[in-house]
Amino acid sequence: MANLKAIRNRIKSVQATRKITSAMRLVAAAKVRRAQMRVQASRPFTAAVMKMLQEAVGETAPVDLAEIPLLVTRPVKKVGIVVISSDRGLCGSYNPTVFREVLQRIAQLNKEGKEICLTLIGLKAVSFFKSIKVEKVKTYTLLPAIPSVQEAKLIANEAAELFISGKVDAVEIIGTKFISMLTSKVTNQKFLPVAVPPKIEGSLLKPERMFEPSIMEVMEKELIPKYIENTIYQALLEAAAAELAARMQAMTNASNNARDLISSLSLVYNKARQASITQELLEIVGGAEALKG
């Protein structure tokens, strides 16, 4: 009977766990839809900012571009890496895949003889890299579940200050790009210095724009700051959507595993109960036969 009681308690425990994982799956599924919409809505704006920056750079002499600190390329001796993780767990392999990419990048940079410093976003990144001997310059934890431009601006300004001051010669962002509900991809994005892709030739129509007071001031005070802020903001949006999708998938798998375990335990319980009843019947029959004899 003690064995039956233990199995019965285990079944109740797994059933309670399944209720929790099912509820978390439904919550994640509801949130990931909105996160997906935010990602898809922000991508055209990011592309438009990059296109405008492209056109502005194309209209500016290289000598003038050299005066903008965030566009200056210099020999890389130290690299800053912005690591985007989550504050919470229970999201499958979302965080471990990001950390694996960061460790590989650190090993590669060490092999090249370059120094590294980390900017960590999320409690999971802070916890993981706590025991790893790499310089941490800044940590951001417990950010809002829905990324905002204010947080993105703060992180972007801190990264830009590191680059402009010469503490680092390049900044990279390692995070997760949302592709679909079932797929995400870890990315390593070159952030600073701002790398403007070459202009695409062959366009039939070229828009005319007027920059006031001058194209240099507009680039330095408006276009480039907006670009780096939006790059961080886009990375945070992508990561948030990928995290929710990973959590939804992880909770779906957990619920399915709990269902299978309940079925397996129920089968074991029924067999044990049947064996117990059979044993009791044999004892009764044996006792009756002994009385007859």
User: Is 91 annotated as catalytic?
Assistant: yes
The residue whose two tokens read 């039939």 is 204
Annotated active-site residue in 35, 56, 82, 91: 91
Task: Give backbone dihedrals phi and psi of 118, rounded to 5 degrees, phi first.
Answer: -115, 140
CA distance 119 to 201: 37
Tokens representing 278?
């059979």
Active site residues: 91
